[in-house]
Amino acid sequence: MIGVLPGPRAAASAGTALGTRSLTFTYRAALPPVISDLTVDLPAGATTALTGPSGSGKSTLLYLLALMIRPTNGEVVWDRVPASRMADAARSRLRASQVGFIFQDALLDPSRSVLANVCDSGLFAGMRREDAVARARELMARFGVDHREDHKPGEISGGQAQRVAICRALLTNPRVVFADEPTGNLDEDTAAVVWQALTDHAATGATVVVATHDGSLVARADHEVRLDGSGGAELRAVRP
């Protein structure tokens, strides 16, 4: 069980909005839990690096926090509400309106153009089409993929697909961004642009949680939650 640390930029935020209470998750009853009795508050207005050995449960914890899967025991709490107990439709609405998720393998729709992939999350969240397109083009220019807007995901590189996925996640200016190895496919300069974008987003008051093995990213985060590989975790301030 682990505790709470205030974020350096927490003053800019409305406080901690997201956390877990005695969270336990098991993929199969016969197996030991991947996450075991985890209590943590993830500060708003700050970046938190989620680290730990391969297989320790980083992706699983991101899916739980993003309400994509339900805990075996305990809660994921959003604004003091046990959101993991909400009905599916309510969880979907919360995800669409408040969460940006950058998957480890980008997970773009191969049948849709790059521009459509980026815009769709905004349309689903209720944005007007022209606003979604304008914001998508602004983000794609920032991440250097605007010249690919008419291409299909199968026609762009892995690093470009990762950047498109980042544009998609930031489109609605979500309150919470989860990123699963967002710089894994990127060169150093592009990774720096992505990290800066996530840091800037946290500075607006958002909660940003990044699963990563990249020590240079961890060193630039505000906090680290380290999963120990046996279901537990510890939280530390990277930059007190």
Ligand X SMILES: Nc1ncnc2c1ncn2[C@@H]1O[C@H](COP(=O)(O)OP(=O)(O)OP(=O)(O)O)[C@@H](O)[C@H]1O
Residues that bind ligand X (CB under 6 A): 27, 34, 52, 54-60
Q: Which is nearer to ligand X, 97 or 230 (CB)?
A: 230
Phi then psi for residue 41, to 5 deg, are -110, 130
Q: Which is nearer to ligand X, 47 or 60 (CB)?
A: 60
Between CA 25 and CA 72 the distance in angstroms is: 5
Would you say 20 and 74 are in contact if contact means Cβ atoms under 8 Å apart? yes
Give min distance, CB of 20 to ligand X, in A: 15
Give min distance, CB of 62 to ligand X, in A: 8
Give min distance, CB of 23 to ligand X, in A: 13
Which residues neighbour 170 within 8 Å (Cβ) at sequence distance 6 or greater?
Answer: 100, 139, 177, 197, 201
Give min distance, CB of 161 to ligand X, in A: 18
Displacement of CA 24 from its chain's centroid (Å): 20
Give min distance, CB of 141 to ligand X, in A: 31
Q: Which is nearer to ligand X, 59 or 190 (CB)?
A: 59
Q: Which is nearer to ligand X, 26 or 113 (CB)?
A: 26
Q: Which is nearer to ligand X, 133 or 210 (CB)?
A: 210
Between CA 76 and CA 21 the distance in angstroms is: 6
Give min distance, CB of 59 to ligand X, in A: 3
CB half-sphere exposure, 122, CA atoms < 13 A = 24
- Judging by DSSP bridges, how do beta strands 81-82 and 99-102 pair with one another? unpaired
Between CA 4 and CA 170 the distance in angstroms is: 26
Q: Where are the alpha helices (DSSP H) in the chain?
A: 58-65, 88-98, 114-124, 129-142, 158-170, 188-203, 215-220
Q: Which is nearer to ligand X, 150 or 228 (CB)?
A: 228
Buried residues in 13-37 as b, exposed as e (16+ CB within 10 A): beebbbbbbebbbbeeeeeebbbbb
